[in-house]
Amino acid sequence: MFLSELIPLQQALKIITDTIKPTPLEKTTLENAYKRVIGEDIFSQLDSPPFDRSAMDGYALKAQDTFGSSQQNPAHLTVVDRIGAGHTSPAIIRNGEAVKIATGAPIPQGADAVVMEEYTQEQGDNLKVESSLTPGENISFKGEDIKKEEVIINKGRYLQPQDMAIIASGGYKEVNVHQKPRVGVLITGSELVMPSPNISGAEVINSNHYTIKALVESSMAIPTLSHVEDHAEKVKNKFESILKSHDALITTGGTAISKGDVVVEVSEELGELMFHGVAMRPGKPFAFAIVHDKPVFMLSGYPVAAMVQFDVLVRENLLKLQNLHRPPVLTRKIATRKIPSTLGRTDYIRAKTDGVNVTPLNIKGSTMIHSMVSSNCYIVIEENLEGVAAGENCDVLLYDSMLV
């Protein structure tokens, strides 16, 4: 494979991103909606609270009965009823009366404030109130938190635990979310075998099987893994069968000598090859095609190159498949040493940052799996830079920042 025409990284990204359409909506129970992307604006079906309720354990009363009261000069009231949460008192409170009330219980008619239990003393039905209340004190009013018909969650929100509370309070136990993308992962390479302490001859362990599966999961999509030899007809059959039941296809490897790049050729035969080769390092031999109207991401067989290609060219687009817009966010750190780079190529250099400084790892080639484990970020050197000087600020992409 010759990469005579590498396209710039930003152009490659734009070509991919422009083709990505969000998955259809499906109903899910609210119980299973955590980390899903909501497909419509959600309007509350209820006021919340649905009625004026007590914000404290204490006594509902008329505030005016307590004006000027204190520990030295308590107000004296009569307890006419006692209610817990979930119960409503039939009492209509008149001056000099109080109803013992639990947090969350409806305020009885006639009452306009609640005194906290701590500021009272009860003996039989006699109540001493040792503080002065203002009307409305310790009452949560109907609709104070959420008003009926109000939009409580906007379309496109990526649901977090706290969002569950407001959707439930809006009266919903089901919501419409984007389907999780089903992503077929096709690992190609006749030399690949599953892990074992006994590797013979020219066999190579299929580590991409595990890494790409986890990477797809980390992008909130559902992976299905398979493996195929470097054989055009077999690869073609796999393409066809996987694309029938998946929203996208990711391949790794497939460069077989003297037969050309099997995978790229198959994608060209079955659909439209959008580009092959990106001006980046590592990860140059990346290809992207549309086959049967679905995106096909073709990664290197090399574990490190494949991971970088995933992080830079795939993750953001799998998220976009479920309408989640999360382009990578770069931060700036100080380079501890000089890092050369070539004009016209974007470099992703595995590095380690302590939060202030960033140091590139001493590595060579893209075979160095070790470097992915001991690094915690990429230093990103844009194509229009010839490198970074020691002590200079540079762009950094933290691994953790990519996780959603």
361 is a contact residue toward its own copies (CB under 8 A): no
The two three-digit tokens of residue 333, written as one number? 């750190």
**Distance, CA of 211 to CA of 207 (rounded, Å):** 6
387 is a contact residue toward its own copies (CB under 8 A): no
Near its own copies in 90-149, by CB under 8 A: 100-106, 117-118, 140, 144-146
Rg of the chain on CA atoms, in Å? 32
Count of residues that interact with its own copies, criterion CB under 8 A: 97
Number of other residues whose CB lies within 10 A of the CB of residue 396: 21
Question: Which of 114-152 are b and which e, b meaning 16 or more Cβ less than 10 Å from the residue's Cβ?
Answer: bbbeebbeeeeeebebbbbbeeebbbbebbeebeeeeeb
Q: Which one among 8, 143, 171, 387 touches its own copies, defined by CB under 8 A?
A: 171
Q: Which one among 9, 16, 39, 48 touches its own copies, defined by CB under 8 A?
A: 48
Near its own copies in 306-325, by CB under 8 A: 307
Number of other residues whose CB lies within 10 A of the CB of residue 288: 25
- The residue (of 15 and 232) whose beta carbon lies closer to its own copies is 232
Q: How far is the CB of 204 from its own copies (least distance, A)?
A: 6
Near its own copies in 18-37, by CB under 8 A: 30-31, 33-34
Applying CB under 8 A, which part among 63-71, 213-221, 235-243, 337-345 lies near its own copies? 213-221
The two three-digit tokens of residue 126, written as one number? 């006699």
Near its own copies in 175-204, by CB under 8 A: 189-192, 194-197, 199, 201-204
55 is a contact residue toward its own copies (CB under 8 A): yes
- 86: alpha, beta or left? (left if phi > 0; alpha if psi -120 to 50): left
Q: Are strands 393-398 and 331-335 parallel, antiparallel or unpaired?
A: antiparallel
Q: Which one among 230, 247, 316, 347 touches its own copies, defined by CB under 8 A?
A: 230
Number of other residues whose CB lies within 10 A of the CB of residue 41: 12
Q: Which one among 166, 290, 330, 361 touches its own copies, defined by CB under 8 A?
A: 166
151 is a contact residue toward its own copies (CB under 8 A): no
Number of other residues whose CB lies within 10 A of the CB of residue 111: 25
The structure tokens 């016209």 sit at 344
The two three-digit tokens of residue 384, written as one number? 């229009």
80 is a contact residue toward its own copies (CB under 8 A): no
278: buried, middle or exposed (CB in 10 Å: 19+, 13-18, 0-12)?
buried
The structure tokens 């003996």 sit at 123
Near its own copies in 235-294, by CB under 8 A: 255-259
The two three-digit tokens of residue 371, written as one number? 């470097």
β-sheet bridge partners, residue 184: 224, 249
Q: How far is the CB of 394 from its own copies (least distance, A)?
A: 19
Applying CB under 8 A, which part among 66-74, 215-223, 272-280, 380-388 lies near its own copies? 215-223
Q: How far is the CB of 74 from its own copies (least distance, A)?
A: 18
- The residue (of 45 and 64) whose beta carbon lies closer to its own copies is 45
Q: Which one among 73, 160, 362, 384 touches its own copies, defined by CB under 8 A?
A: 160
Q: Which one among 82, 142, 281, 284 touches its own copies, defined by CB under 8 A?
A: 82
Q: Which one among 18, 27, 72, 86 touches its own copies, defined by CB under 8 A?
A: 86
